[in-house]
């Protein structure tokens, strides 16, 4: 696998592949790769002739008091894992390459509405940062298909909306969340958990499962959410949100909606964990 921080090198390699009529799949990441990322690379290999990944801890998507500096950077391990998974090209730009004018002078992409709720309400500017970097990366790599984990359900919908609104010529594929045996969704931020917290963190997925089955059994949404939040508090979490929404639009669920998603964010120790579960009513 070739690793480069240079935009021109990425473009030259992709141009060579394209000239031969070959296709490119792209897996953007912030590094500190786990089994969920490698699953994305494996799925990417099934969908195109070549796989390109990126590792960039994007400062634009972190709030001022968030974990930008603490975010784990493990490039050598990530390179080994990507190579073993069959990724051929890795883009590792610096913030100066991506944002040469600095963050404040940078053109940005705002996906209205869907960026302002849930994680967007708790983390103002987060999805502007995500949409901006993802569009930049798409313009640099010019993939035929890009793959994202469904754990970041809202992020996936923001990116799908941007791609549709801006008529970008690529396919977005959402890939199912990879979980630990306990049910805990794989996340780089799980590394912030102590051994004890990691055991208790499994309560998040249990709360989502319980909430979905309570709603399917006819419990009112507010009561089911309150019950789920109580179970999280008992496990030591500080819940941020627990909401049932339309799985298609993330609009507040109405009685007419059949395809629903329950989304949760909660703090446990130093880690802000998010997870979600799609279900039918």
Binding site for ligand PAF (CB under 6 A): 28-30, 58, 61, 130, 133-134, 152, 155
Nearer to ligand PAF, 28 or 143 (CB): 28
Among candidate residues 2, 37, 39, 126, the one labeled active-site is 37
Would you call 50 a catalytic residue per the annotation?
no
Q: Which is nearer to ligand PAF, 134 or 203 (CB)?
A: 134
Strand-strand pairing, 271-280 and 259-268:
antiparallel
Least Å distance between CB 242 and ligand PAF? Answer: 21
Nearer to ligand PAF, 43 or 214 (CB): 43
Cβ pair 211, 222 in contact under 8 A: no
Question: What does the alpha-carbon distance between residue 83 and residue 89 come to, in Å, rounded to a whole number?
Answer: 9
Closest CB to ligand PAF among 158 and 211? 158
Known binding residue 178? Answer is yes
In the beta sheet, which residues pair with residue 271?
Answer: 268
Coil/strand/helix, residue 91: strand
122 carries a ligand binding annotation: no
Task: Say whether 151 counts as a known binding-site residue.
Answer: yes
Residues 213, 232: contact at Cβ < 8 Å?
Answer: no
113 is in an annotated binding site: no
Q: Dihedral sign, CA of 146, 147, 148, 150?
A: positive
User: Least distance to ligand PAF from the beta carbon of 139, Å?
Assistant: 14
Tell me the closest approach of the beta carbon of residue 210 to ligand PAF, in angstroms.
Answer: 27
Alpha-carbon distance of 225 to 216, in angstroms, equals 13
Distance CA 26, CA 53 (A): 6
**Residues with catalytic function:** 37
Enumerate the known binding-site residues. Answer: 30-37, 61, 149-152, 155, 178, 186-189
Enumerate the known binding-site residues for ATP. Answer: 30-37, 149-152, 178, 186-189
């Amino acid at each position: 696998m070739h690793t480069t921080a240079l935009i021109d090198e990425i473009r030259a390699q992709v141009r060579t592949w394209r000239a031969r009529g070959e296709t490119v799949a792209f897996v953007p990441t912030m590094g500190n790769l786990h089994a969920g990322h490698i699953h994305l690379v494996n799925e990417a290999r099934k969908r195109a002739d070549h796989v390109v990944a990126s590792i960039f801890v994007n400062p634009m998507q972190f709030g001022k008091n968030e974990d930008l500096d603490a975010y784990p950077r493990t490039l050598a391990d990530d390179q080994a894992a990507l190579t073993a998974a069959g990724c051929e090209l890795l883009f590792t730009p610096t913030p100066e390459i991506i944002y040469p004018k600095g963050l404040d002078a940078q053109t940005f992409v705002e996906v209205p509405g869907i960026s302002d709720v849930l994680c967007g309400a708790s983390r103002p500017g987060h999805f502007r940062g995500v949409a901006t970097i993802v569009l930049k990366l798409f313009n640099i790599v010019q993939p035929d298909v890009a793959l994202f984990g469904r754990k970041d359900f809202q992020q996936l919908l923001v990116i799908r909306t941007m791609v549709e609104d801006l008529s970008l010529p690529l396919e977005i594929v959402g890939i199912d969340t990879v979980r630990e045996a306990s049910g805990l969704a794989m996340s780089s931020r799980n590394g912030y958990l102590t051994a004890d917290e990691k055991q208790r963190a499994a309560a998040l997925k249990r709360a989502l499962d319980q909430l979905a089955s309570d709603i399917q059994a006819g419990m009112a949404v507010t009561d089911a959410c309150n019950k789920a939040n109580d179970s999280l508090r008992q496990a030591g979490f500080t819940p941020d949100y627990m909401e049932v929404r339309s799985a298609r639009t993330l609009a507040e669920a109405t009685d007419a909606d059949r395809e629903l998603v329950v989304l949760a964010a909660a703090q446990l120790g130093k880690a802000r964990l998010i997870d979600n579960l799609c279900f039918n009513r």
